[in-house]
Structure 1
């Protein structure tokens, strides 16, 4: 067994979309920095970022009903929807920048235009959807959204869902054509291919076993080659823990005070998948419904068109499941070993507060295929069991922490945890995750390199023209940016005008810089 020590400027743990995005941003901002990536699997994007392990929704609040809530006075709170949409605009702009500069090729290999729709049944939910539509459609970020409760119009929008449907209760839907399907696995691989071409050292089959502070303030990692068993020791000035569900254990091992008292609760997902061409051809949209009572927000049912390797298929789900693993390829001991003296009371409080969720998950695990088909028939009345197969998706680890809402509160979303000196950061949580990776990684940069942000700002504005600007306050700039990114990403039909992407990126950046 060897035990050798090497050193670099930056270490990224995990070869998923988050590390890929952070590495890409750093190589644009400080190309001279050396970066090493460690991944326990044999390739990039094999866990949560993989295209078969998530719904591929470019989360921009166009269809996700759980991003809007009705206040006690009956008005609609759209603040979270607006926030997520603005964050997704950052991703689109950065991807566009990379395409325009040939850093990544063939954008249609990772992003495709797919309408986003919301669908509800019953008078109460129809009233909710109409209020949501009225609130969002006035906002420049949601321009082009349509609403209908006319069955004939809905049959045009979603023929597969309306065929053989019994009109025994009110139904309604909203539609916006500017939605996308994103293959985050393909995008992750493209980003790492580009990083490798720039000299980034990417080491697969490497399991990071420990993270410790050294006397000089840097970090030393103990890494095991999963094939040979050899141990490597590697030091860096800055470490990013982007290992998905595996991040919590490494955050705990770092010993930073900011990581104390945080726990994690794993939720697995399953999708019903249809690849039969005659069925797939009848539906081209991502259609989100409302979550069942007691279901976690990540279990909102949806029927999605997916485009993977140029082939369209339909995903329905997700059906929640439970396993103590924190990663799809993790250990059955992940949950129990994550319980430490510092988070024990938090975890116990969460268990007591979430008995309803526990019962829901048990019920989901026990569902038969035919019971899952019955849930699917709420969306596709004439769905045939032989046309659909079950696919196990990725693991999601929801954050548990003490908040103003009480001890042991289950959090839904993503959260950056960083040391006070900015030398190490970790990303925890789940959806909207990958869709907002650029915005979230900018948060990592803000926290960990605050002294460099002013120097980096001109380059950040070049890469992401909306950086530091409220697009809601500049709707004309928003429209121009949406048109430019739609064109450069190959999203035909989104932009009212076509422009040469190589020429468009610079004027937009300059215009944004004057605001």
Structure 2
């Protein structure tokens, strides 16, 4: 065992999509900075970013009903949908920049055009979906969306779902062709290959054991080399903790005040994957339904066409589950060891407030394959057990924090915790995470490098033309960006923004 110390400008903990994105942006802004990456697994993108550990949806709020709420007056609030769509447009622009500059190659390896659809049943849900469609389709970000409650039209759109459907219950769907399927695992690996070519020091099988602030404001990271057994002390001016569910423990070890009174609640997921090519070929969309009462947003049922390893697949789920692990390859003691004196009350309050969620997760864990098939048959009425296998997806850790809403509030989304001096930041939470990685990492850069941001702005605008602008308020720029990114990324030959909303 040896103990030696090295220095760099930036340390990135975790080799997922967030660290990959931040490292790539920083290398464009300040190529001379020395960046070091530590990842506990053998390669990049193996936890939440892995293609089998997430839904692969390019989250742009095109189909996700949980991003649009019905208000008491009956109107639909689309503000969250607008925000998420704008953030995804930032990612699309950055990926296009990387392809144009030949920094990464073959966009078809990580992004494919795919219709996004919302599907509901029941008169009340159909009424809501129509109101949601009317609110969204009047916004330039969602131009091209179609609505139909006509079974014949729905049979054209989703034959696998409509075939042999016996129910006379009203059914409706929205469809927009500008959606995407994103292989975040492949994208993560491409970005790390690029960083490796840029001489970023990437260390796999290196486990970060501790983080300590130094008197001069820098940070020392204690790292265990799992291959050699060596202990390394590595110092940097800035540390980003992008270790998925593992970020909470490292944030706690940093000792920053901003990391106190924060807890995490792990939720696991299971997908059903179709093993029958004939069935896979009958479906070509991501179709999102409505979450059951008490279910977390990540458990919204959806039937997804996926492109993994250049092969078309069909997945249904996710079914929620519970494991005390914070990472798929984590420890069963993760949840227990995350409870500290400063967040004990926060965690207890969250437990008391979320009894229905706990009961829901217990019910989901106890589901047999036949019970899961019953839920699948709400989408595919004639689904057969032998055509479907189970795949365990990744772990998500929902943030628990004290907010204006009360002590121990469970947060559904992505959060960045930053020290007051900007010398360290940690990413926590779940969806829409990966889809909005570029926006989130730009926010990290703004908070952590305020003195340089003005100097870097011209380069950022070169990478992301809409930077600091609202695309919703600049429809000409939106159309220009849609056109250019679709061409560069191979997403569409026609302008979806030119299509008018369609009722049928």
Say whether the fold is shared (TM-score over 0.5): yes
Corresponding residue SS for 1:195? helix
Aligned to 1:317, the other structure's residue is in SS state strand
Matched residue, 1:336: 336
Partner residue, 1:505: none
CA distance in 1, matches of 2:270, 2:404: 33
What corresponds to 1:299 in structure 2?
299
Contact between 2:271 and 2:318, CA under 8 Å: does it hold in 1? yes
Mapped pair 1:127 → 2:127:
yes
Residue of structure 2 in register with 1:448 after alignment: 448
Which residue in 2 is equivalent to 1:38? 38
CA distance in 2, matches of 1:494, 1:336: 52
Q: Matched residue of 1:9: which SS? A: strand
In 1, Cα distance between the equivalents of 2:57 and 2:105? 21
In 1, the alpha carbon distance for the partners of 2:4 and 2:97 equals 39
> How far apart, CA to CA, are the structure 2 residues paired with 1:148 and 1:473?
28
1:110: which partner in 2? 110
Aligned equivalents of 1:377, 1:190: Cα separation in 2: 37
SS of the equivalent of 2:425 reads: strand
Change (3 A) 1:112 1:333: same
CA contact (8 A) 1:425 1:444 kept: yes
Give the Cα separation in 2 of the matches to 1:113 and 1:153: 21
Once the two structures are superposed, residues 8-32 of structure 1 have per-residue CA deviations (whole angstroms, 9 ceiling, x without a partner) of 0000000000000000000000000
| TM score, norm. by length of structure 1 | 0.96
2:150 corresponds to: 150
> What residue number does 1:513 align with?
none
How far apart are the structure 2 equivalents of 1:185 and 1:495?
28
User: For the residues of structure 2 that align with 1:489 and 1:477, how far apart are their CA atoms?
Assistant: 18
2:412 is the counterpart of 1:412: yes
Aligned to 1:55: 55
Q: Secondary structure at the match of 1:316?
A: strand
Residue 240 of structure 2 aligns with which residue?
240
Tell me what 1:507 maps to: none
**C-alpha distance in 2, partners of 1:374/1:81?**
30
Unaligned runs of 5+ in 2: 498-504
SS in 1 for 2:472: helix
Contact 2:304/2:315 (8 A) holds in 1: yes
CA distance in 2, matches of 1:192, 1:470: 30
Which deviations, in whole Å up to 9, do the C-alpha atoms of 1:339-384 show, x marking residues without a partner? Answer: 0000000000000000110000000000000000000000000111
CA–CA distance in structure 2, aligned partners of residues 265 and 148 of structure 1 = 38
The CA deviation string for residues 26-74 of structure 1, in whole angstroms up to 9 with x for no partner, is 0000000000000000000000000000000000000000000011001
1:218-251 Cα offsets, whole Å, 9 max, x none, are 0001100122321111000000000000000000
Distance 2:392 2:121 in 1: 28
Distance 2:453 2:213 in 1: 25
CA-CA distance at 1:275 after TM superposition = 3.2
Deviations 1:420-442 (A, max 9, x none): 11000000000000000000000
Q: Distance in 1 between matches of 2:414 and 2:493?
A: 32
Equivalent residue, structure 2, for 1:180 = 180
Q: 1:491 to 1:124 in 2, by over 3 A?
A: same
The TM-score, its normalising length taken from structure 2, stands at 0.98
Is contact 1:325–1:334 with CA below 8 Å preserved after alignment? yes
Q: Does 2:61 correspond to 1:67?
A: no
Displacement of 1:168 in angstroms is 1.9
Secondary structure of 2:451's counterpart equals: helix
Contact 1:108–1:490, Cα closer than 8 Å, also in 2 = yes
SS of the aligned residue for 1:172 comes to strand
Say if 1:13 and 1:241, in contact at 8 Å, map to a contact too: yes
Asked if the contact 1:264–1:397 (Cα under 8 Å) also holds between the matched residues in 2, the reply is yes
2:433 paired residue number: 433
Q: Which runs of 5+ in 1 are unaligned?
A: 498-515
User: Residue 394 of structure 2 aligns to a residue in which SS?
Assistant: strand
Matched with 1:10 is: 10
Q: Is the 8 A contact 2:39 2:203 kept in 1?
A: yes
Q: CA deviation at 1:216?
A: 1.3
After superposition, what is the alpha-carbon deviation per residue over 1:271-313, rounded to whole angstroms, capped at 9, x for unaligned?
A: 0001321000100000000000111111000000000111001
Q: Does structure 2 conserve the Cα–Cα contact (< 8 Å) formed by 1:484 and 1:495? A: no
Inter-partner Cα distance in structure 2 for 1:362 and 1:496: 43
1:394 matched residue in structure 2: 394
- Find the residue that maps to 2:195 and give its secondary structure: helix
**Residue 476 of structure 1: how far off its partner (Å):** 1.0
RMSD: 0.8
1:149-193 deviation digits (Å, cap 9, x = unpaired): 000000000000001001320000000000000000000000000
Contact map agreement 1:275 1:312 (CA 8 A) in 2:
no
Q: Tell me the distance in 2 between the aligned counterparts of 1:204 and 1:314.
A: 32
Pair 133,32 (structure 1): closer, same or farther in 2 beyond 3 Å: same
Q: Check whether the contact 1:178–1:494 (CA below 8 A) recurs between aligned residues.
A: no
- Go from structure 1 to structure 2 and tell me whether the alpha carbon gap of 1:412 and 1:154 turns closer, same or farther (over 3 Å shift): same
Between the two structures, name the one with larger relative contact order (CA 8 Å, sep ≥ 6).
2
C-alpha distance in 2, partners of 1:275/1:483? 36
Question: Are the equivalent residues in 2 in contact too, given 1:177–1:494 (CA < 8 A)?
Answer: no
Partner of 1:327: 327
* Contact map agreement 2:177 2:496 (CA 8 A) in 1: no
Aligned residues: 497
Task: Provide runs of 4+ in structure 1 moved above 6 Å.
Answer: none
**C-alpha deviation, 1:494, in angstroms:** 4.6
